Structure 1
Amino acid sequence: MAASIQGIGKGLFRLSPLIIKQLRPYQFCLHRLPERTRPGLSLFAQPSHFYCKAALLDGDAAQAVESLSRYKDRPWDYLETEEYIERYGTKPVWAGYRRNHKGGIPPQKTRKTCIRGDKICGNPCPICRDPNVIIHHQNVKLLAQFISPHTGMVYDPTLTGVCMKQQKKLHEAIDAAQDHGLVPFQIPYVEYSGEDYSNSHDAVGSTPPPQSLTSGSTWYKWYTELTPDANEVAKVKKMYKAYLK
């Protein structure tokens, strides 16, 4: 039975190209039929009909790659686009972010990284979830969102939800921006007191000159009275004979 079914299948497979070739002249009649009554046109469709959707997808992918390359060279331009304004508005990128976790108490530390190779976690951090948000020391508007305007300190990752890998990049970019003068920072003011740097202070006082400069004797009286033991000197010379010249 199985052999007979297999033989029928092989015969139909051989005859299908001949049947399709004979029905091609009547292809224009099938297009006039309504969609419900029209038979399947997969046999007569051109290859372009199959790949039209794929072509559209390729076009979208190419556009996305182009935008990524454009923002990679100038990441600060993304913060001025309509796409960014519609998505975030005037709020920082980390506003309203909540990490997926069990229970009502969030973990004490953020995850190490959101992207490991080709695998992306379920709820990436505010920087990893948007590929157009790129950390750069010249992207001042983005860096300002992670700096407290009152203290000038970088926000803790438990507040922003940024993973530890991106938090490290933030610290490096902020330090580089401060070194280049792009991000201002405050230096604590210290009042200068002349008493702290003068020799007349009670805690410092004046040091008397050594006695050797006045009387001609050594500073320590016992220094000239000490005579080393001859046996000990001989032992030391014998021990370090190879190193002595």
Structure 2
Amino acid sequence: MAASITGIVRSLCRRSPLIIHPLRQHQRLPVRTHPGPQLFVLPSHSFCKAASPQHEGAAQAASHYKDRPWDYLDSEEYIERYGTSPVWLGYRRNHKGGIPPQKTRKTCIRGDKICGNPCPICRDPNVIIHHQNVKLLQQFISPHTGQVYDPTYTGVCVNQQKKLNEAIGRAQDHGLLPFQIPYVEFSGEDYSNSHDAVGSTPPPPSLTSGDTWYKWYGEIELDENEVAKVRKTYAAYLK
């Protein structure tokens, strides 16, 4: 009887080795010294923890930069993160395919949600656009042409690009940023006197009887139908 049971067990183990595998692992486990079920402990990051002094200092720094955003570009935090490079240098846009689209995304922040790959301005809350933040605005202006960089070059979203354009224009109006005026070469000719209608009036002695005051006035051909309509409209005022 025992031999038949042993043969049945061996045949089952050969056909289904997964049955014996957990049994072997169970044999290797150490013997528990205390009875009772083991309690499941949640991971430590799921519990609420008090904010550390570093986080509190960062929050205070962010609020300080909100009032004076130009101080962030001179801080050690900015130099450690960006160095002497602009905030958009080395940024790669997240797009489908190998060819980037001609326009960037409309906005990176929708309500309280931030997209996975925010633009160089939306990813850093300390980078605040302001017309007095001249060092930040200069990073988005070409030093050779004076033109604002295209958002496809810097990766800035459309919403932040509008704020940039407004801040740059306001800074130029306040005299904080220089702007270039296109050079126009004048030939010295006064084009305002090239036409007889706006030119200098000829003296009266030069006129003869039957001549018009302006030469171009005698070359006008009037439409009789239009003249008739005007006369009919103002018949009560014509003498």
So what's the TM-score if we normalise by structure 1?
A: 0.60
CA contact 1:138–1:177 (8 Å) conserved in 2: yes
Paired position in structure 2 for 1:138: 132
User: Distance in 2 between the 1:112 and 1:210 partners?
Assistant: 68
Stretches of structure 1 that go unaligned for 5 or more consecutive residues are 1-51, 238-245
Percentage identity across paired residues of the two chains: 78
After superposition, the Cα gap between the structure-2 partners of 1:191 and 1:103, relative to the gap in structure 1 and judged at 3 Å, is: closer
Give the superposition deviation at 1:197.
4.2
- In terms of fraction of residues, the more helix-rich structure is 1
Paired position in structure 2 for 1:160: 154
1:170 aligns with 2:164: yes
For residue 119 of structure 1, what is the amino acid of its counterpart?
Answer: K
CA contact 1:94–1:161 (8 Å) conserved in 2: yes
Give the superposition deviation at 1:191.
2.9
Give the superposition deviation at 1:143.
0.3
Give the superposition deviation at 1:65.
3.0
After superposition, the Cα gap between the structure-2 partners of 1:102 and 1:218, relative to the gap in structure 1 and judged at 3 Å, is: closer
Give the superposition deviation at 1:194.
2.6
Paired position in structure 1 for 2:177: 183
Q: Give the 3-state SS of the residue equivalent to 1:172 in structure 2.
A: helix
So what's the TM-score if we normalise by structure 2?
A: 0.62
Aligned with 1:84 (options 75, 78, 86)? 78
CA contact 2:129–2:163 (8 Å) conserved in 1: yes
The list of structure 1 runs, each at least 4 consecutive aligned residues, that deviate by more than 4 angstroms after superposition, is 204-211, 213-221
Paired position in structure 2 for 1:195: 189
Please tell me the root mean square deviation across aligned C-alpha atoms, in Å.
3.8
Q: Give the 3-state SS of the residue equivalent to 1:56 in structure 2.
A: coil
CA contact 1:110–1:158 (8 Å) conserved in 2: yes
Paired position in structure 1 for 2:49: 54
Give the superposition deviation at 1:108.
1.6
Stretches of structure 2 that go unaligned for 5 or more consecutive residues are 1-46, 219-223, 235-239
Give the superposition deviation at 1:163.
0.1
User: Distance in 2 between the 1:124 and 1:170 partners?
Assistant: 16
After superposition, the Cα gap between the structure-2 partners of 1:206 and 1:126, relative to the gap in structure 1 and judged at 3 Å, is: same
The number of residue pairs the alignment matches comes to 177
User: Distance in 1 between the 2:70 and 2:128 partners?
Assistant: 8
Q: Deviations over 1:17-75 (max 9, x none)?
A: xxxxxxxxxxxxxxxxxxxxxxxxxxxxxxxxxxx972235x55543332222111110
CA contact 2:141–2:147 (8 Å) conserved in 1: yes
Q: Give the 3-state SS of the residue equivalent to 1:107 in structure 2.
A: coil
